[in-house]
Amino acid sequence: MKDALEPRKVFSILFIIAIAVVFTLQFGPGSSGFGAANPGGQATPSAAATVNGKEIPVLEFRREYAGQLQYLRQQGSPVTEAVARQFGLPQQVLERMVNTELLAQAGERHGVRASDEEILKILHRSPEFQKDGVFDYATYQAVLRDYFRQTPADYEEDIRKRLTAQKMMEVVQNGAVVSDDEIRARFEKEGNQARIVFARFLPTMYADKVPAPSAADLATYRQAHEKEIKDYYEANRFVYQQPERIRARQILLKVAPNATPEQKAQAMERAQALRKEIEGGKDFAEVATASSEDPGTKAKGGDLGWVERGNWDPALANAAFALEAGQLTQPVETPFGIHLVKVEEKKPAQDKKLEEVQDEIATTLYKREKAKELAQAEAQKALAEVKGGKALTALFPPEKEGQPALLRFETETRPEAVQTDTFNAASTNVPHLGPAPDLLTAVFATKGAQVLDQAYPVGEGFVVAQVTERQLPDDAKFAEKKDELRKQAEQAKQYEVADSFLKQLKKSGKVETNTAAIDQVVGG
């Protein structure tokens, strides 16, 4: 059994196995997934996905997605559709629907199926279908007809599928067994705790102390690091090969797609009038702030930043890129409306070969290497002082009063002592520091507070650390926590078994999603 699951993974699995939630009508039941069979397995335009030939209709996905948004908002989350897309909510909803379908199909194959009595019980306890506190069939029919747009037969089959999926998952999870040895191993890690204080020494802190290489040093470095220079060039090719770009501002006057010729002519006249104002001496940014209808740039005086030709509508790009810096386009019509563009700066296309930039790259890598050597030397110096009895907190107090820069999410300009919270041997990261396997091993090899005996490479820099607190697991604490640990271990095992079972269903089955249909629903 894995000792721990990543938080994102745990959330995903919780999202999968909490299928019972869909029976509460706040989610907007639907999502039947028992659409018409599609033997070819290809998602049709009316399907959000197909699962082993069975369709999940777009209409059902739309209802499920809208219900999920409504539920989150009812819980006090001010989630907008844009934020929901940013955090992948549409994909999570569709994945839940696909998983439900897979589990229901697996249940059918294994003889696990919801009974009519179980379905009736769910219907009778649903307040939406009650009148005077009792299930009322006429109310049930009216709610399905007016709200869910489903027949009783379709709605009940939908519930049967969801309940079958839930029962199948329960069968899988009931097979998760945890031994006493696993519980003890979990305790040995979770009860093995420490706190440390550390300071890190980054090359960036010493970069300004590295002088540029002499011509002789540069030639020697270039000859000895040909591969590194070439690899750097390939990884940063976008820096050396760039298309033509302009830095521009725009004024946009929106025109509806179904606008009449007269409406388009009026917008064009307004654009010409604004152009005359600018030619007459008015500042473009001021006119854009006052008159542009582009919400993304209006408050910034129409500032678009640097733009490549391929990012624009061809008509607008041709007009703008034909100008010199300081010039203004005539009004240009695109599907978005009428544009006026001022070119503020222009950069020609560049295609620098490796031979042209190898000295520049060699200098960068040379200075980076020397800065790393300085960082390591400073870390070793600090380690010697700490071993001599000085405290990291005294040697490297925060540059500003209060928290170190690392805890303020600011760039560190010099080493600062950082005190961690308590963490245990099951951790894969050091708090505030991230992955540091060698450092973690050293921390939990100690028996008490002490200075760690070396500067550890972590990322691009080096870390000097002191263990300030240690707590070792003992039999008394194990006896006290055994029941709690068993419950936690069983829950973690259930997550693991559920995740593994669903992955196997997907691997052995055929799931296809209709990205275009989903984007149409969520506005992607």
Q: Write a three-state SS string for 306-368.
A: EEEHHHCCHHHHHHHHCCCCCCECCCEEECCEEEEEEEEEEECCEECCHHHHHHHHHHHHHHH
Distance CA 235, CA 368 (A): 16
97 neighbors 33 (Cβ within 8 angstroms): yes
Residue with tokens 């899988």: 172
76 — pLDDT class (breaks 50, 70, 90)? confident
45 — pLDDT class (breaks 50, 70, 90)? low
227 in a domain, yes or no? no
Q: What is the 3-state secondary structure (H, E, C) of 12-57?
A: HHHHHHCHHHHHCHHHCCCCCCCCCECCCCCCCCCEEEEECCEEEE
Examine the domain organization and report whether 260 and 344 are in the same domain.
yes
How many folded domains does the chain comprise?
3
Examine the domain organization and report whether 378 and 342 are in the same domain.
no
Examine the domain organization and report whether 303 and 448 are in the same domain.
no
165 in a domain, yes or no? yes
Distance CA 128, CA 146 (A): 12
Residue with tokens 């989150």: 72
Examine the domain organization and report whether 292 and 388 are in the same domain.
no
Examine the domain organization and report whether 326 and 380 are in the same domain.
no
Examine the domain organization and report whether 16 and 97 are in the same domain.
yes
267 in a domain, yes or no? yes
Under DSSP, is residue 220 helix (H, G, I), strand (E, B) or coil? Answer: helix
233 in a domain, yes or no? no
| Closest to 32 (Cα-Cα) out of 166, 155, 146 | 155
Dump pLDDT digits (tens) for 103-124: 999 999 999 999 999 999 999 9
* pTM of the complete model beyond 0.85: no
Point out the domain boundary residue: 291, 322, 348.
348
Please report, to the nearest 10 degrees, the dihedral formed by the alpha carbons of residues 149, 153, 159, 164 taken in order: -150
* CA dihedral over 506, 508, 514, 515, signed as positive or negative: positive
Mean pLDDT, all residues of the chain: 86
291 in a domain, yes or no? yes
Q: Domain residues for 49?
A: 7-177+494-522
The predicted structure's pLDDT at residue 33: 32
Q: What are the distances in angstroms from CA 512 to CA 13, 65, 97?
A: 20, 18, 13
31 — pLDDT class (breaks 50, 70, 90)? very low
Examine the domain organization and report whether 162 and 15 are in the same domain.
yes
Q: Does position 5 have pLDDT exceeding 70, yes or no? A: no
Q: How far does CA 177 lie from the centroid of its chain?
A: 33
pLDDT, average across residues 480-505:
84
Examine the domain organization and report whether 24 and 130 are in the same domain.
yes
341 in a domain, yes or no? yes
Examine the domain organization and report whether 16 and 121 are in the same domain.
yes
Q: CATH number of the domain at 44, please.
A: 1.10.4030.10
> What is the gyration radius of the CA atoms in the chain, in angstroms?
32
362 neighbors 372 (Cβ within 8 angstroms): no
The predicted structure's pLDDT at residue 22: 36
Amino acid, single-letter form, for residue 214: S
277 in a domain, yes or no? yes
487 in a domain, yes or no? no
Residue 96 belongs to what H/E stretch? helix 89-109
pLDDT, average across residues 135-149:
89
Distance CA 475, CA 450 (A): 25
198 neighbors 464 (Cβ within 8 angstroms): yes
The predicted structure's pLDDT at residue 44: 52
Helix boundaries (H) for 130-281 = 137-143, 152-173, 180-190, 215-224, 226-235, 237-240, 261-279
